[in-house]
C-alpha cells in the first residue's frame, strides 16, 4: 500500500456570484488515481496549467477534493482532525524560496515547524542540527535568509520541512526560480534525501531533465494523467510527449533524430554516454561487415 493514494480524485475551481450561483467552472483535475510507494522518487511532469500544482496541494491537505478521496498514510485528507498528522507526514516545499521563509535567521526559520508542533526546545535544537546537515546548510545556521542565494534559500526551506521529520516531501517546482548552480545543489540535496534517508520524494516539475532523475514519471496533461511509467519508458515515446508539449532532453532528441535518419539505435537511451556507446557499437559493426 502506498504512502499516498488517490481514488477518483476530482477538483474543479468554481466561480460563484454573490447569490451563490455557479458562474464558471474549470475542471483542474479529472479522475486521478495514483499510489506512491514509500521510499520512492516520483516526478510529476507537465506543462503550465496541466494541474500538477493543484494535484500537489491535494497531497497534504492544502486543498480538498471536490470529489474522490486522497489518503496520506491511510488518513483521509478531508478529515479535519487528521490535518496535522497529514502535514507532518507529507511536507511541502514551494516554488518561490522567498515566500516560504518566515524568520529572519536561518535557525529560527527551521525551528518554525517544530515550534508549531509544540516540540520542547532541546529537541528542536537537535532537529535543527540534523536537518541543516541533511540539506547541507549547517554553515549558514546564524545567517539571515536575505543574504543567501536562491538555491541556498530553497535548501533552508527543505531543512525547515525536514525538521518536522516527514516521511514524504512534496516539491512544487522547487528549482524553477533558481540559476543553474542553485538547481544542481537543490537536486543533489533532494536525491540524497531519497537515497540516504529513505524519504519519499514527489517532485513536481516541467523540466524533463529533472524528471529523468526520478524512478517513476507521471505525466499530467489538462488535469488527466497522460503517462505513468519509468523515465526510460516515458521518454522512449517522443511522439506522444510532443503531443503533450513536453520537449525531450537534447540527448534523446539527438537519438530520436538518428533513429529517424535510419540508424537502428536501441530504444530507451537517456544519457549522452549511453548514446555515444550505442552509436560507436553500431559504427564498429558496420566497419566489421564492410
Partner 1 sequence: MRDMIIGQYYPGSSLIHRLDPRVKLLGTLLYLITVFMIHGPLSFAIVTAFLIAVTAVSHVPVKLMLKSLRGIMVILILTFIFSLFLTQGEVLVKMGPLHITKEGLSSGLYMLMRLSWLVIGASLMTLTTTPGRLTQGLESGLGFLTKFHVPVHETAMMMSIALRFIPILIEEETRIIQAQQSRGADFHTGNALQRVKKLTPILVPMFVSTIRRADELALAMDARCYRGGESRTSLHPLSFSRLDRQAWILLGIYTAAVVICFIFRV
Interface residues toward partner 1, by CB under 8 A: 57, 60, 62, 84, 87-88, 91-92, 94, 96, 98-105, 107-108, 111-121, 124-125, 128, 144-146, 160-161, 164
Residue among 60 and 205 whose Cβ is closer to partner 1: 60
Q: Please, which residues bridge with residue 45 across strands?
A: 205, 219
In angstroms, give the least distance from the CB of 125 to partner 1: 7
Cell of 44: 510529476
- Give the span between the Cα atoms of 81 and 25, in whole angstroms: 29
Residue among 92 and 190 whose Cβ is closer to partner 1: 92
Residue among 30 and 165 whose Cβ is closer to partner 1: 165
Write out the DSSP string of 246-288. Answer: -PPPHHHHHHHHHHHTT--PPS---SHHHHHHHHHHHHHHHHH
- Give the span between the Cα atoms of 255 and 257, in whole angstroms: 5
Residue among 43 and 119 whose Cβ is closer to partner 1: 119
In angstroms, give the least distance from the CB of 195 to partner 1: 24
In angstroms, give the least distance from the CB of 169 to partner 1: 11
- Give the span between the Cα atoms of 199 and 221, in whole angstroms: 27
In angstroms, give the least distance from the CB of 186 to partner 1: 16
- Give the span between the Cα atoms of 223 and 246, in whole angstroms: 15
Query: Over the range 8-41, which residues count as b (16 or more CB within 10 Å of their CB) and which as e?
Result: ebbbbeeeeeeeeeeeeeeebbbebebebeebbb
Would you give the distance in Å from CA 231 to the centre of its chain? 14
In angstroms, give the least distance from the CB of 94 to partner 1: 6
Residue among 105 and 270 whose Cβ is closer to partner 1: 105
Residue among 141 and 259 whose Cβ is closer to partner 1: 141
- Give the span between the Cα atoms of 72 and 63, in whole angstroms: 13
- Give the span between the Cα atoms of 34 and 218, in whole angstroms: 9
Residue among 164 and 241 whose Cβ is closer to partner 1: 164
Amino acid at each position: 500500500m502506498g504512502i499516498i493514494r488517490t481514488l477518483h480524485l476530482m477538483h474543479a475551481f468554481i466561480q460563484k456570484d454573490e447569490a451563490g450561483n455557479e458562474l464558471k467552472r474549470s475542471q483542474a483535475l479529472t479522475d486521478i488515481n495514483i499510489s506512491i510507494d514509500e521510499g520512492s522518487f516520483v516526478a510529476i511532469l507537465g506543462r503550465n496549467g496541466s494541474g500538477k500544482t493543484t494535484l500537489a496541494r491535494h497531497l497534504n491537505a492544502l486543498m480538498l477534493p471536490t470529489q474522490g478521496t486522497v489518503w496520506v498514510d491511510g488518513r483521509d485528507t478531508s478529515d479535519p482532525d487528521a490535518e496535522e498528522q497529514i502535514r507532518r507526514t507529507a511536507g511541502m516545499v514551494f516554488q518561490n524560496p522567498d515566500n516560504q521563509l518566515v524568520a529572519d535567521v536561518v535557525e529560527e526559520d527551521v525551528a518554525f515547524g517544530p515550534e508549531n508542533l509544540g516540540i520542547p526546545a532541546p529537541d528542536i535544537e537537535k532537529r535543527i542540527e540534523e536537518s541543516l546537515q541533511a540539506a547541507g546548510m549547517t554553515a549558514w545556521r546564524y545567517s539571515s535568509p536575505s543574504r543567501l542565494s536562491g538555491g541556498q534559500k530553497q535548501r533552508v526551506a527543505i531543512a525547515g520541512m525536514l525538521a518536522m521529520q516527514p516521511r514524504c516531501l512534496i516539491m512544487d517546482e522547487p528549482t524553477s526560480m533558481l540559476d543553474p548552480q542553485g538547481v544542481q545543489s537543490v537536486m543533489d540535496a533532494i536525491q540524497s534525501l531519497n537515497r540516504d534517508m529513505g524519504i519519499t520524494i514527489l517532485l513536481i516539475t516541467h523540466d524533463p531533465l529533472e524528471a529523468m532523475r526520478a524512478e517513476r514519471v507521471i505525466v499530467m496533461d489538462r488535469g488527466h494523467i497522460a503517462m505513468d511509467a519509468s523515465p526510460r519508458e516515458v521518454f522512449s515515446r517522443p511522439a506522444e510527449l510532443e503531443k503533450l508539449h513536453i520537449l525531450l532532453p537534447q540527448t534523446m532528441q539527438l537519438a530520436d533524430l538518428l533513429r529517424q535518419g535510419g540508424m537502428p539505435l536501441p530504444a530507451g537511451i537517456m544519457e549522452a554516454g549511453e548514446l555515444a556507446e550505442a552509436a560507436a557499437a553500431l559504427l564498429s559493426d558496420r566497419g566489421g561487415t564492410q
